[in-house]
């Protein structure tokens, strides 16, 4: 027998179903394409990674939590790279020299791109430092995270694990 509040519950869930996608910042929207120089010398386009799961991390040498996060990102990259996953570090500084110097001390094996004119930061509406965006194999944004606190990498891993299985 249906409880008396069932109609209300259905309506409430309907409202939430509409509201939630708005609250959970733009999931399943296509990730805008971009083209940036990288630390390997080559220009890299996001579209060349279609078919792979891509994690973009916006960082800067002057941002403490960003530097703290980098070795963890390297670990994630190494673990999932073989499963069709790639990491792109987008350095947001107008001058690439501090980043290059820092990477000499703390090298990473994933591509680091230089967004000197903040084109991509603006395109992705970066609203915190660091910012992480995870894109599925079809090229849609599925996960957005602002800031970094120890333990946040578990959220990244949950998203990556489900997306690499697709």
Partner 1 sequence: MPFLKRWLALAGLVGAALGVTTQAFAGVLPEDRADVLYHRYQGGGITIDGPSVLIRKKFGDKFSVAANYYQDMVSSASIDVKLSASKYEETRKQKSISFDYLRGKATYSAGVIDSKESDYIADTAFFSLSQDMFGDLTTVSLSYKRGWNHVFRNVKQADGTKIRDPTFEDGADSRGYSVGLSQILTRNLILALNYEVITDEGFLNSPYRSVRFATPGGGFSLEREIYPRTHTSNAVSARLKYYLPYRAALEGSYRFYTDTWGVIANNVEINYTQPAFKRWILDGRVRYYKQTHADFYSDLFPRSQSQNFEARDKELATFDNIAIGVGASYEFTIPRVRWVQKSTVNARFDHLMINYDDFRDATQNDPANGIVAGAEPLYKLNANVFELFVSIWF
Partner 2 sequence: MRVTRVLFAAVAVVMGLSGCSIQPWVKPYEREHLADPIMAFDRNPVSSAYLDHVFEAREGARGASGSAGGGCGCN
Compute φ and ψ for 90, nearest 5 degrees. -105, 110
Task: Determine if residue 147 is left, alpha or beta; phi over 0 gives left, psi from -120 to 50 gives alpha, anything else beta.
Answer: left
Interacting positions 90-129 with partner 1 (CB under 8 A):
127-128
**148 counts as binding partner 2 under rule CB under 8 A:** yes
Q: Which two tokens stand for residue 111?
A: 């591509």
Contact map string, positions 5 to 44, toward partner 2, x by CB under 8 A: ----------------------------------------
Q: Find which of partner 2, partner 1, none residue 150 binds, CB within 5 to 8 Å per kind.
A: partner 1
Stretch in the footprint of partner 1 (CB under 8 A) among 18-26, 102-110, 111-119, 144-152:
144-152
The secondary structure of 104-143 as a DSSP string is HHS--SS-EEE-TT-HHHHHTT--SSSEEEEE-TTSEEEE
Q: Which two tokens stand for residue 126?
A: 């970066």
Q: Of the candidates 130, 133, 134, 160, which one interacts with partner 2 according to CB under 8 A?
A: 130
Q: Of the candidates 26, 150, 162, 166, which one interacts with partner 1 according to CB under 8 A?
A: 150
């Amino acid at each position: 027998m249906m409880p008396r509040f069932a109609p209300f519950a259905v309506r409430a869930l309907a409202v939430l179903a509409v509201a939630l996608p708005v609250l959970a910042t733009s999931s399943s929207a296509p990730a805008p394409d971009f083209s940036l120089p990288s630390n390997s010398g080559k220009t890299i386009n996001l579209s060349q990674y279609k078919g792979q799961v891509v994690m973009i991390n916006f960082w800067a040498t002057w941002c403490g939590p960003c530097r703290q996060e980098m070795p963890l990102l390297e670990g994630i990259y190494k673990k999932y790279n073989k499963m069709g996953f790639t990491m792109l570090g987008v350095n947001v500084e107008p001058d690439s020299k501090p980043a290059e110097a820092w990477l000499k001390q703390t090298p990473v094996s994933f591509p680091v791109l230089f967004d000197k004119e903040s084109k991509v930061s603006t395109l992705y509406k970066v609203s915190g430092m660091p910012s992480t965006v995870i894109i599925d194999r079809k090229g849609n944004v599925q996960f957005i995270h602002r800031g970094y606190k120890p333990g946040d990498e578990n959220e990244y891993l949950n998203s990556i694990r489900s997306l690499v299985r697709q």
